[in-house]
Amino acid sequence: MNRATILKYVMNCFLLFVLPLVMMVFGNQLPPALLAENFNKGIPPFIEYGEAIFRYAVMALAVFMPMRISTQRQKVGLAIYIMGVILYALSWGPLILFPQSAWSTSWIGFSAMAYTPLIWLIGIGLVGDSFYFPIPYKPWYYILLSMAFVIFHMAHTILVYARTY
């Protein structure tokens, strides 16, 4: 396999997950209810497994989507992705810096980390324009999977909020 072929497969939409995943470094600074050891306690299996299945599906499908920014839709998708990642990062700030604030203790502030990923995931769906396998690409394939993930993630987060506040 030559270098160009390898690069073709390495340059996929999964690269757009790098920034959101790097943010996980700050995960140990979140309020106790959002820490991994507490977040999953008492969550019904239907929600826990649904969330995990759709999370992995969204991430795995991105691996099979080449990343190119050449069409107008892809440029708009990249802009939406960037806005979404910024909003996602901003959703972490109040929870870490001001965990007892009115925003952080409201359901909308507490769960912002769960719903803002939909924005950058929609961006990824618009950046994609094909798969490495022979199925025609439609952005809504990826966006529907992303919406399913966010619905389960929100349900999970709202349950944690309800038992916390």
Residue 8 has pLDDT above 90, yes or no: no
Check residue 9 and give its pLDDT. Answer: 78
**Look-up of token digits 């506040």:** 165
Query: What is the separation of C-alpha 115 from the centre of its chain, rounded to a whole number of angstroms?
Result: 9
pLDDT digits (tens, 9 = 90+) for 63-97: 999 999 999 999 999 999 999 999 999 999 999 99
Only one residue has tokens 């995960």, namely 27
Taking the model in full, what pTM does it have?
Answer: 0.94
Q: CA 81, CA 146: separation in Å to the nearest integer? A: 13
Place of tokens 């972490």: 92
| Structure-model confidence comparison of residues 36 and 62, the more confident one | 62
Alpha helices, DSSP H only, in 28-138? Answer: 36-39, 45-63, 72-97, 102-105, 107-110, 112-115, 117-127
Domain containing 112: what range? 3-164
Q: How far apart are the first and last CA of the chain?
A: 56
Encoded amino acid at 21, one letter: L
Give the per-residue pLDDT at 4.
Answer: 74
Tokens read off for 80: 């939406």
Contact call for residues 13 and 128 (beta carbons, < 8 A): yes
Total count of domains within the chain: 1
